[in-house]
Each structure stands twice: as structure tokens, then as C-alpha cells.
Chain A
Amino acid sequence: MKKIVLLITSLILPQALTNTAYSAEFELSGKVAIESRYFFQQAQSSEQSGQSNVSVFAEPELYWSWNDDSDTVLFKPYLRADQNDAQRSHGDIRELIWTHVGDDWELRTGINKVYWGVTEFQHLVDVINQIDSVEDIDGEDKLGQQMINLSLVRDWGIVDILVMPGFRERTFAGKHGRLRSNLVVNTNKAEYEASAGQQHVDYALRWANSIGDFDIGTSWFHGTNRDPLFKLGVKNINAPPQYTNLELTPYYELMDQVSLDVQATLGDWLWKVEALYRNTNTLNYWASQAGFEYTRVGVFNSVVDVGYLIEYGWDSRGQNFTVINQNDLFFGSRIALNDMQSTEILAGVGVDLDHNAQSFIIETSRRLGDSYKLSLDMRLFSSNNINDVLTQLRQDDHLQITLEKYF
């Protein structure tokens, strides 16, 4: 193993070998899992799979460090095989990043994941990585993004400069998959505003600092919008123009965005706000997500913590646009039993104040033994307004059981 490490490190950083303090460390960890979904209703289209689906996935993590941890490489490939959906069966390099730590700076080169923001029900300002939406519909699974990221640590905050050569397309459920729109999104026909297409180089700048009880971040992004617009197209130009011959094709515009995220941590209360202004060729808009999280520790003389969350999402594009959180209220509760198995329950309801549409989620998890984790999640969608995006998912209420084995 040492030999392989030497080879890899010498490829990445030749001067590491000349360092007399040279010693490399290697570590392998990760997880494999099996996931089963049970849908309560038949799908809206007969092409889609039945009421049950099984999926397996693996995410190993390989880690090397040398130069007394000043240089590290993290490699995290990901692979999923899905019973029914060919688009959900996919692989990705979540991370393959070389980090070099200097005195008051850090350089991260490769494929990486970056998280921005503070709110829980929507991750509005978190725009660096593309959403891997075939994984789950909560937008928390991300595809690895190629980048060079210089991070400067100053007394007045941390400044991140990101140069991102290359764009990742959003993933969408395929013909046989559930949790998709009525029309299938054909990712093979994706179009771009930028003439360089997927090769367009994106830039971002961020400043973040903690000042007393406030954690503040502000960012600027110029590049390809991670959220596509959709064009209605035909699958086969020679076939008759009927509904079954229609499909959606993603169109990725360029955008400029400025955003702000602030959290005030005041005793048991966390006050949060995210806001952005986005400028694209077709329109300019504002959006915001704001709310609080209040935690009661040790309820009823036990060690159980109960948290209450309320957030409100607003988008200036309003209800005539295909925006999910244009005037939506979210309520949630997070219960941590603080037991040996780290049992946790998160329940949340999203209510659309413009349309008669609601979504309900419950996420529970518990460790089994020392290296297994069992999760039980449920998602319910209710909507009867054709203008609401959620209407597309009204047949997709489901229960999901996941067993993960960590190593």
C-alpha cells in the first residue's frame, strides 16, 4: 500500500518527496447500503415502475495525507444500481480533491463539494454543486464539481475564490422511474446559453465570518445556472404530434447572483435568513428563505431534545412560474433521543399559501450495533392545483427504508 501511496503523492506533489519529514498516511472508510421504496399509489404514467423499488449504493472514501497533514487527497466515488430506473443507476465522483494548507491560506484542487447557507427546508444560496436529484427530492444530494478553490483566512473572515471549469447537468428520473414530472426530461438534449456549453468556466467569490452571535456569509456567482428551464419538445420528429411523443429538454442559462446568509445564535434560538438576487437573460428575481429553530433540551426531566422549526420561503417570480417555494410556510420538529444509538426523528410540513398544496416528510434514523444505520423515511404530497409543481408528485407518496453498513 505504501508504494501506491508514494506513487500517487509523487504524481500530485513531487516536492513532497524531497521533504525530510515525509510520511504518508492512508485510510479507507465508507459505506454500502440497500434502499427500498414502497409507493402507496400507482404511478401517473403506465411507463413508470410499480409500487416497490429496490436500490443499492456504495460510497467508499479513500484518504491520503502527508507533509504532516499539510497535504491531503480525498477520493470519494459513488455508485448506485436501481431496480427500475436506468437514470437512477449512475456513478459519480463526489470528491477527488487535493488540499494544500498554507499558513493563512488553503488551496483545494480537483472535484469537491461546497455548502453555503443556514436554513433547513430549502437550500437557496447553496449553488456551487449541481443537485443529484435522482437520489432524493430534497436537493441535499450533490454531484461533484470540478474546481480550483483558494481560501484565505484573515482576521476579518474567510474569503473563498472559486474557479470552476466545467458544468454538471442535473440528473432526472428516467422513463421507468418514479418521483418525476408527467413528461420525461431528456438530458441528452440539454442546451446551453453559453457558447462553450458544458465547458464554460464559472466563477464565485465568498466572504464568511463569525461576529459575536452572528454567522454571516455573502457570495457572488457568475456562470451557468444550476437550475434549468425546460423546453417542450418531441421525442421523434416524424411521429404524430400526440402527448406520448412529448418530452422536456433542459435549457441552462447563464446567471449572475449575489446572496446573503445570516444566522444569529441567541440562547436556545437560532434565527436564520437566506436571500438572493439572480439575474438571467429571461428574468431577474429575488428569493428568500427565513425562519428560526428553537430547541428545548432535556424535556420532561429526560435527556431528550425537542426542536421546533418554522421557515418561510418567498420568490418574486410568484405563482405563475414553476417555482416550488414562492409563498410557502414550513413547520418542523426535530427530536433527538440522545441515546447510545443516536435515535433521531425529523418531521416537517410544507404548506403552499397560494395553492392548495402540502407536503409532509418524516425522517427517522437509528444506529444498529456499531456499524449499521437504519433509516425510515416517509414523504406525502397533496396538491390539486395544476399550477403547482407538487401536482406532478401527487401519485408518488412513499415510504423508504434504508440500511447502511459503514466500514
Chain B
Amino acid sequence: MKCYQSVFSSIIATTLAIVTVITLATAFPSYAATPEQQGLAISKEAKSRDLGWQDSTANMLMKLRNRQGQESIREIKIKNLEVADDGDKGLTIFNKPRDVKGTAFLSFSHSVGADDQWLYLPALKRVKRISSRNKSGPFMGSEFSFEDLSSFEIPKYTYKYLGDDKINGLDSFMVEQIPVDKNSGYTRRIVWLDKSEYRIQKIDFYDRKNSLLKTLNYSDYKQFLAKYWRPMTMNMVNHQNGKSTALVWSNYKFRVGLKDKDFNRNSLKRAH
């Protein structure tokens, strides 16, 4: 908190200079005068650079590690469909651990309001609509919460530009994002985006008491369709409980032809 305050005051001191530089460097709207407007503009730019990918599939390996260093693996397949002017549709299929194999999770995320979520339990062949209030809960016992894995939408946060930083050797913006939804597990997140490609490099998560809870580092970015950047590794460290979760992505495919019909009760039941 202290550290953040000092960073913040130094930002204020140099705001004018930075604004000028950024405006030139990144084609900011010229009216981006306040840190709030700048933060919003940076986030909009990041979002707009990631529009038009249509649909994608990927495999995700989740490595959970506790304080003692014991590891547990989750193997997951993810299908996503881009929805214009709203949150994306997603189908998450579990392969490991074996006792949850075939369990699948369907979500229609919305930029405003609660998401719609269904869970498929293969043992009973039952599809169950579940409450999407549980944003802050851990996903599969990992250090990622449901909200950490949902799609980024502009109306989900309010923004504030905090200044510049160099991270992973890249000149970056620091933007504070304050969740609009009161059910979020966070008071705020601080996001580092590199200036050249607007890719997230790092996120600091602050819990409901505003103390630093987790840090997420993004690495091994790969570009797809000569436009869309995806990190192949995401490493989340929980500073309060000493646990960590690494996500390793592979087999990313874009524009495979997924449609609305691939995201309904029937497709949930046959997910494999």
C-alpha cells in the first residue's frame, strides 16, 4: 500500500510529461487528460486489438503447488466463441484428474450483470444451472478464481492510469482496474501492459481488505493469425497462503468454425 502510494504521487508529479509522450507514442485520444480517461483508453486499445478472433480451442495444463511443494495436475480443454458487444461463450472440459473426467462447464459471460453458467456431471448425466455469484471462489482448487478466467470486458471495471514501468524488459503501462461487480473478490487489480503490443505482462490482485493477495505473471507470448497474442504460460502466486498455480497452454487453434450451436446443453453433454 505504502509502495503504491509513493508510485502514485510520483505519477501525479509527472502526469503532464507522460501524457504528452503517450499521446504521441500510442495515438491516444487527445482528450485523455485525467488518469481515469487514460486508464480507460489504454484498456480500450488493448481490447480492440483483441477483437475479431471469432473462435478458438486450446488445451490447458494446470499445475497446482502447495506450500510444501506438492503438485497436482489438472488437464482441461477450452473452447471459446467471441460474442460481439457482450461477454464470450466458453466450454471448459475436464480430462484430469480422472475422477472428474467428462465434467464440463458452459458459460455465457456478460459484460454487464451476472454470467449464465451450467455444469455437466457425467456420472448422473445431469446438467445443472449454477449460481454465477461465486466469482471469487477457487477454480478446481487452484489459485485462479472463476473471475480470473473469465473474458475481459471493458464495462467490468473502472480504470486509472498509474504510470509507466519496465517489466520483462518491456516498457509498460500500469493501469488500476476496480471491479464494478460487488461480488468480485478484489478491491482492485493493477495491470501491466506492454506499450508496443498492449499485452498483459503482470497483474497484482488486492483482496477485499485491500492487501496484496496474488500476482499473475504472463510469459511466452505467441502470436496467432498475425494479430492475436496469447501467453503460453501464466503463473499465479498467492502471497498470503504460499500456494501457486501455473497454467501451460498448448494446441491453440483459431477460427476452427465453432458456432452458437457448439455452446448449448447438448454440446455440454457430449463434450469430450
- A residues contacting B by CB (< 8 A) are 27, 29, 31, 63, 65, 69, 72, 99, 101, 103-104, 106, 113-115, 118, 140, 151, 153, 158, 208, 210, 215, 263, 265, 267-270, 295, 297-298, 303, 305, 338-342, 367, 370-371, 373, 404, 406-407
Contact = CB atoms under 8 A, between A and B. Distances in A.
Contact of B137 (A140, A303, A341, A370): A303
A303 B97 contact: no
A158 B70 CA distance: 45
B99 A404 contact: yes
A367 B129 contact: no
A270 B266 contact: no
A297 B137 contact: yes
A370 B96 contact: yes
Nearest to A65: B272
A99 to B, nearest CB: 6
Which 8 residue pairs are nearest across A and B when measured between Cβ atoms? A406-B98, A115-B126, A340-B141, A115-B125, A297-B134, A338-B138, A373-B99, A113-B125
Q: Which of A65, A103, A303 has the most C-beta atoms of chain B within 10 angstroms of its own C-beta?
A: A303
Contacts of A303: 137-138
B97 A371 contact: yes
B265 interface: yes
A340 B266 contact: no
Nearest to B143: A303
A69 B272 contact: yes
A298 B136 contact: yes
A267 B72 contact: no
Given A153-B261, A208-B265, A305 B99 contact: no
B214 to A, nearest CB: 12
B185 interface: yes
B124 interface: yes
A305 B272 contact: no
B96 A263 contact: no
Contact of B99 (A106, A158, A270, A406): A406
B125 A114 contact: yes
B36 interface: no
A367 B137 contact: no
Contacts of A158: 264-266
A270 B118 CA distance: 13
22 contacts: A65-B272, A69-B272, A72-B270, A106-B270, A115-B124, A140-B124, A265-B129, A265-B131, A265-B132, A267-B131, A270-B129, A270-B130, A295-B133, A297-B137, A298-B136, A298-B137, A305-B134, A338-B137, A367-B97, A370-B72, A370-B98, A406-B97
Contacts of A140: 124
Given A153-B261, A265-B129, 14 more contacts: A101-B270, A115-B127, A158-B265, A215-B129, A265-B130, A267-B114, A270-B131, A295-B133, A297-B134, A338-B137, A342-B100, A370-B72, A370-B73, A370-B96
A158 B260 CA distance: 14
Contacts of B72: 340, 370
Contacts of B125: 113-115
B64 interface: yes
Interface in B189-232: none
Contacts of A373: 99
Q: Which of A140, A153, A340 has the most C-beta atoms of chain B within 10 angstroms of its own C-beta?
A: A340
Interface string B1-40: 0000000000000000000000000000000000000000
A265 B98 CA distance: 29
A401 to B, nearest CB: 16
A341 B140 CA distance: 9
Contact of B129 (A65, A210, A267): A210
A78 B140 CA distance: 28
Given A158-B265, A298-B185, A370-B73, A268 B133 contact: yes
Contacts of A118: 128
Interface in B80-102: 96-101
Contacts of A29: 98, 101
A99 B66 CA distance: 41
B129 A297 contact: no
B229 to A, nearest CB: 28
Nearest to B70: A340
B116 interface: yes
Given A115-B124, A297-B136, A298-B136, A407 B98 contact: yes
A373 B33 CA distance: 58
B131 A367 contact: no
Nearest to A105: B266
A29 to B, nearest CB: 6
A340 B98 contact: no
A118 B121 CA distance: 13
Contacts of B124: 115, 140
A365 to B, nearest CB: 9
A163 to B, nearest CB: 18
Contacts of A151: 266
Contact of B134 (A69, A115, A295): A295
A340 B64 contact: yes
Contact of A263 (B66, B129, B185): B129
Interface in B109-128: 114, 116, 124-128
B78 to A, nearest CB: 15
Contacts of B70: 340
Interface string B166-194: 00000000000000000001000000000
